Amino acid sequence: QVALTSERYGLRRLPFSQLTHSDLAFFERLMPGRVVTDPEELKLFNVDWLKSVRGCSKLMLKPQTTAEVSQVLRYCYERNLAVNPQGGNTGLVGGSVPVFDEIILSTALMNRIISFDKVSGILVCQAGCILEKLNEYLEQQGFIVPLDLGAKGSCHIGGNVATNAGGLRLLRYGSLRGTVLGLEVVLADGSALDCLASLRKDNTGYDLKQLFIGSEGTLGVITAVSILCPQKPKAVNLAFLGCQSFAKVLETFTTCRAMLGEILSAYEFMDEKCMELVERHLNLSNPVTGSPFYVLIETSGSNSTHDEEKLNNFLEKSMASGLVTDGTVATDDKKIKACNLMLWSLRERITEALTHDGYVYKYDLSLPVAKLYELVTDMRARLGQSAKNVVGYGHLGDGNLHLNITAESYSHSLLDAIEPFVYEWTARHSGSISAEHGLGFKKKQFIQYSKPSEAILLMQRFKAMLDPKGILNPYKVLPSS
């Protein structure tokens, strides 16, 4: 990957103030030892995980409390200094790194679990808690986070909420818009908004937290989260299956949903090109070979005998009817742990494998399930030999396609062949140009393919009301005026 600077996108720095020695002195007094100015240390936080976009921030601040975030933003608002909120920096659309020299406001040290209620299953924690660490804590209490991502080892729950991350458990537990009960947010002028409710039902006026879920740090900085967590399943089963066509993948899903019902927790699909890349670049072994498509099914329930019986009945029917041609299943406790790691790695590490294949053009789309793979086929035909690989995988149960195109190196002509075609195709089929990654920096100018002009204007009004100086994560989410 080669990081692209703002000049590549024809952007100019907005008239924010420049950092001065007195600014640095103020921040050092406010949080001594948690002010980073070393250029070498800052390099890592100026570049996104894909190394596809790069900023040039000269300062990173590491607050530990909401009060410190409030003081930082109040000062920056008065001084007209732009701020880039940053969690685990695992975003895929350039929303988590500076575009120019914005101050990086890191939530890395805001990693305290505030409370957990075992009766209600409600967790309250600071925004910088790492998703995997939260899940480990909850598992000890007999619960889990209703969110699972490939980046769980480094992403922050605040960043997850700020981007409305989808992930692998959405089919079972729904989106964060439904499971997040409350938020604590600091607004651009430094005022703290305490909507950190721990109630399942609160029908008093506008649901303000929804403004900040998915706003990608452009309306306020999320400092704490209240989230409803489900009980940890007592029985988890996995099946990795091969299908001979995408039509069979769809039919298998219909059968799967009907026969597995309430225990179905994930239905992921990937094409054979994905598996080739995972095997070649990561040396992972595919237990099922020779199929154009693969499906990973997970069930989660409370009774292993009941769940295994339902899964076996589904598999017998699928094999007998020719929907599935081959597969492997992990149902007993010992095998599931080893198989879980291996089978989920085949799916979760596709993104990593793609980065080893060259420069990656990534697209995260919502489409009617029946049309999901047609875009991959059409894109292959359109690009021909100009692309190295065109692959499709994703959360089929949610209608979420991850379309990825690799090339030996970045090519502006190849990008022109992909965009805006990919967005026009998606809009023509009543889809969304971002299913779960957000708009960030890379997709903001294409929002009109998913939202009418009236909706975009209303979003711009919200932004102007909550952040009149535009200091929070500028150049992101909304198109330039």
> In this structure, what CATH number is given to the domain that contains residue 306?
3.30.70.2190
**Is 267 within 8 Å of 251 (Cβ atoms)?**
no
pLDDT at 198: 87
Closest C-alpha to 350, from 384, 382, 395: 395
Domain annotation covers residue 481: no
- What would the pLDDT profile of 359-409 be if each residue is shown by its tens digit? 999 999 999 999 999 999 999 999 999 999 999 999 998 999 999 999 999
**Residue 477 counted as domain residue:** no
Mean of pLDDT over the chain: 93
Which range marks the domain in which residue 46 is found?
A: 5-106
Q: 29 with 82, same domain?
A: yes
pLDDT for residue 332 is more than 80? no
Please answer whether residues 110 and 127 qualify as being in contact, where contact means their C-beta atoms are separated by less than 8 angstroms. yes
Whichever domain contains 133, its CATH number is 3.30.465.10
Question: Which of 383, 367, 384 is closest to 423 using CA atoms?
Answer: 367
Angle formed by the axes of helices 333-348 and 272-282, nearest 10° = 100
The answer, yes or no, to whether residue 15 has pLDDT greater than 70, is yes
The pLDDT of residue 257: 94
Residue 479 lies in a domain: no
In a domain, 290, yes or no: yes
- The answer as to whether 395 is a domain residue is yes
Where residue 430 sits, what CATH number does that domain have?
3.30.70.2740
What strands, in cross-sheet order, belong to the sheet with 326-330?
Answer: 326-330, 235-243, 293-301, 264-271, 389-395, 400-407, 359-366
Measured CA distances, 233 to 19, 128, 141, 307, 356 (Å): 51, 26, 12, 11, 35
Domain boundary pick from 303, 335, 357: 357
Query: Would you say 165 and 96 are in contact if contact means Cβ atoms under 8 Å apart?
Result: no
Q: Are 195 and 184 in contact (CB under 8 A)?
A: yes
Q: Is 274 exposed, middle or buried (0-12, 13-18, 19+ CB in 10 A)?
A: buried
CA distances, 158 to each of 131, 161, 185 (Å): 9, 5, 10
Integer Cα distance of 221 and 212 in angstroms: 8
What would the pLDDT profile of 46-73 be if each residue is shown by its tens digit?
999 888 899 999 999 999 999 999 999 9
Residues 290 and 353 in one domain: yes
In a domain, 476, yes or no: no
pLDDT at site 124: 98
* pLDDT, position 471: 98
Over pLDDT 90: what percentage of the chain? Answer: 85
**Residue of 423, 366, 411 whose CA lies nearest to 386:** 411
The Cα–Cα gap between 391 and 403 comes to 6
User: Which domain-ending residue is among 334, 357, 380?
Assistant: 357
Q: Are residues 75 and 12 in the same domain?
A: yes
Which of 91, 106, 121 is the endpoint of a domain? Answer: 106
pLDDT digits (tens, 9 = 90+) for 348-360: 899 999 999 999 9
